[in-house]
Amino acid sequence: MFDVLDQTPGKLGFIDAHGKLVNELPDGVSIDWLQQSYQHMVRIRQLDKKAVALQRTGQMHTYPSCLGQEAIGTGIGMAMQDADVLVPYYRDQATQVLRGVSMQQILQVWGGDERGNLFEGAAVKDFPNCVPIGTQMSHAAGIAAAMKSRGVKQAVVANCGDGATSRGDVYEALNLVGVWQLPMVAVINNNQWAISVPRGLQTATATLAEKALAVGIDSIQIDGNDVVAVFQAVRNALTRARSGKGGTLIEAVSYRLSDHTTADDATRYREASEVSQAWEYDPVKRLQTYLHELGQWTPAQEQSLLAEVKQSIDKAVADYLNTAPQAADDFMAYVFAAMPQPLQAQRERLLARLERDNAAGGNCDDS
């Protein structure tokens, strides 16, 4: 089943599943770059593990794990410039952290706290996580249209899962990118499963990258478990986009090693042997192996990294758990720049009800 994860001709890749170099590393990818990428992937994997644990212990709401997707998010984040805009979907934790989103904010968002989306740094221009499937691609096309209209040398990166490519929103957005030659890079995280629907039942096309043919934009299929391949493909696509040459569709082939979310149980529809096989393509392990065999990563460095990561995640968790509760009407505050009257009326009714409940000693009034 995992022939698509193998190093097949036509799919961009540099470091294979065994940690072996199969193509010359591109310009800009040094040992220091590889070490930074590896450290970031380890950080995100540990953060992801902690987030799942928080949900399992009732300290967080439903959470979408990015286990096995670390190379995609890291490669994208390493390729983007500060001036670019990220329109993420819900497995883009690795990219968001590289853009300046704190680990505490990642936890806040999935804890239901809207303040986790108040980004700083390069991410201040970025959009919040998109939970509806595929709708973010339309938003991204709109941002790209604004960039082109203003004549700025910026680009948008919008990500989605393989399941989202079955949605009209995605095709409509890509069609607009093609017709108007918009500076947008669309990255499909092809992790093989759209919740319980396997990739093979989602489309009759041989690859997801070839869907770009229908809309007239460039495309490429890459090894999504190879951080170098992701970086190179996204960097090239961004360069094209910023220079006015239009958009690109990138299919990053990977595998979802986790459940779809913590509300899912993938053992009901996937064989354990399939998941075990997919672990052989682990993006983190392969880069560690490559660096280790070069003599550029030692057990002592690994232990030091894990200690540093644990300390930083423990602090993020403590800060998340100690954050003062948000205002009850906060979830209404970030939808529109200027709150429209119907929403304002709902807000006023909510506040009035809370005031009555508080006056009654906290008893809920269901009238």
Per-residue pLDDT of the chain (367 residues; tens, 9 = 90+): 555 566 565 789 999 999 999 999 999 999 999 999 999 999 999 999 999 999 999 999 999 999 999 999 999 999 999 999 999 999 999 999 999 999 999 999 999 998 999 999 999 999 998 889 999 999 999 999 999 999 999 999 999 999 999 999 999 999 999 999 999 999 999 999 999 999 999 999 999 999 999 999 999 999 999 999 999 999 999 999 999 999 999 999 999 999 999 999 999 999 999 999 999 999 999 999 999 999 999 999 999 999 999 999 999 999 999 999 988 888 888 888 899 999 999 999 999 999 998 888 765 444 4
Round to whole Å and give the CA distance between 151 and 137: 21
From 207, 217, 163, 214, select the one nearest 186 (Cα to Cα): 217
Check if 260 is active-site: yes
Every domain of the chain and the residues it spans: 2-322, 330-362
Q: What is the pLDDT of residue 367?
A: 40
Judge whether 248 and 219 are in contact, CB under 8 Å.
yes
**73 CB-near residues (< 8 Å, 6+ apart):** 44, 66, 91, 92, 93, 94, 95, 96, 98
Check if 334 is active-site: no
> Which of 260, 281, 286, 320 is labelled catalytic?
260
Superfamily of domain 2-322: Thiamin diphosphate (ThDP)-binding fold, Pyr/PP domains (3.40.50.970)
| 139 CA to centre of own chain | 16
From 152, 215, 154, 212, select the one nearest 187 (Cα to Cα): 212
Check if 139 is active-site: no
β-strand 197-198 against 156-161: which pairing, if any? unpaired
Round to whole Å and give the CA distance between 223 and 251: 8
Q: What is the pLDDT of residue 7?
A: 54
Q: What is the pLDDT of residue 259?
A: 97
Judge whether 178 and 141 are in contact, CB under 8 Å.
no
Round to whole Å and give the CA distance between 223 and 240: 20
| Cα-based angle 227, 230, 236 (whole degrees, multiple of 5) | 135
> Which segments within the chain are labelled E, that is strand?
85-87, 156-161, 184-190, 193-194, 197-198, 218-223, 248-253
> Which of 45, 99, 235, 256 is labelled catalytic?
256
β-strand 197-198 against 193-194: which pairing, if any? antiparallel
Inter-axis angle of helices 31-56 and 70-79, nearest 10: 130
Round to whole Å and give the CA distance between 26 and 207: 25
Q: What is the pLDDT of residue 366?
A: 44
